[in-house]
Amino acid sequence: MNRVAFRIFGLDIMWYAILIMTGVLIALGVSRFTTSRKGFNLSYDHLLDAFVYAFPLALVGARIYYVIFEWNQYQGDFLKMLDIRSGGLAIHGGLIGAFIGVLIYKAVHKRTTHYMLNLADAAMPGIIIAQAVGRWGNFVNQEAYGGPVSQEFINRFPAFIQQGMLINGQYHHPTFLYESLWNLLIFAVLLMLFLKRKPYREGTIIAWYMILYSIGRFFIEGLRTDSLYIGSLRQAQVISLVWIALGVIYLIYKYTRPIPASPLNASEEDPTPPPQEG
C-alpha cells in the first residue's frame, strides 16, 4: 500500500497527513454547526481562536507522548523524533497538548471556566469525528492493527481492507476500523446529547466523550499488537479506566446538583460575549 498520495516540488505528501487534516476540517465544520445553536450564546470565532492555540500543541503533545513510550526506537536520533510523516502520534498525548493550548487561550483572553466548558462541549462531537477519520491514516500506514485472524474471519470485510490487513503473509484484526466505527457512533450520541440536553449542565458532553471513547478504546486496545506500555500494562487501557472513572464522577456531581437558573444561557458570565454577526 502506497503511503504517498502525491508529490509537490519533490516533496511527498502522505495520506496520513491528508487524512488527519481532513478530519480537522470536518471537525471545524461540525463545530461551526454546534456553536451556532440558538440559546447557547457561543461564538465560532472564539472556538477558532482556541483552535489556533490548541492544534499545534496537540500535534506536539501527540508526538512527544509517542516518543516517550517508544524511547528505545528514537533515543539519540532527534531528526527521527521530528518525523511524523510516517505516523507515530498518540491521541492521549494530543488531547493533553490540546488541553494545555486551551488553558493558554483561556488565560490570554480571560475567558471564564464556565464559558470554556460550554465551548469545549460544542467542540467534542467534532473532535471524535476527526478521530474517526484520522484512524484511516493508520490503515494506510499499516499500523495500529490487531493480532492475527483467519482468512475466514477477514473475508467478512471489503476486499481493500483484506488486502491492507495482509501483513507479512498474515491477516490481522482491522482495529483501526473498529475504532473508527465506534467513534462515529459516539459522534452521533454526543451530537444528540448536545442538541437535546435540557436542562444544560456544562462539561457533561466532555464527560460523556471521556466515558464512551474510553470504553471502546479499552477493549480495542486489547486486540492491538503495537500498544504503548507502562511496565506490563497497556497505557491506553490504564488511561481509559481513569477517564471512565473521572467522567462518571463528573456526571454524578453535575446531575446531583441543583438545576442552573438559566440552563440555556450558557455564557452569561463571560466578560466578552460573542460578537454579533451582521
Cell of 68: 516517550
Cell numbers at residue 180, please? Answer: 473508527
Tally the C-alpha atoms within 13 A of residue 157's C-alpha that lie toward its C-beta. 20
Name residue 48's amino acid.
Answer: L
Specify the pLDDT at position 260: 63
C-alpha cell at 246: 473521572
pTM exceeds 0.85 for this model: yes
* DSSP secondary structure letters along 118-179: HHHHHHHHHHHHHHHHHHHHHHHHT-S-BSB--HHHHTTS-HHHHHHTEETTEEB--HHHHH
Per-residue pLDDT of the chain (278 residues; tens, 9 = 90+): 788 888 888 888 888 889 999 999 999 999 999 999 877 789 999 999 999 999 999 999 999 988 887 787 777 777 778 777 666 788 889 999 999 999 999 999 999 998 999 999 999 999 999 999 999 999 998 888 999 999 999 999 999 999 999 999 999 999 999 999 999 999 999 999 998 866 778 899 999 999 999 999 999 999 998 888 888 889 999 999 999 999 999 999 998 987 765 444 444 444 445 554 43
Which pLDDT belongs to residue 261? 57
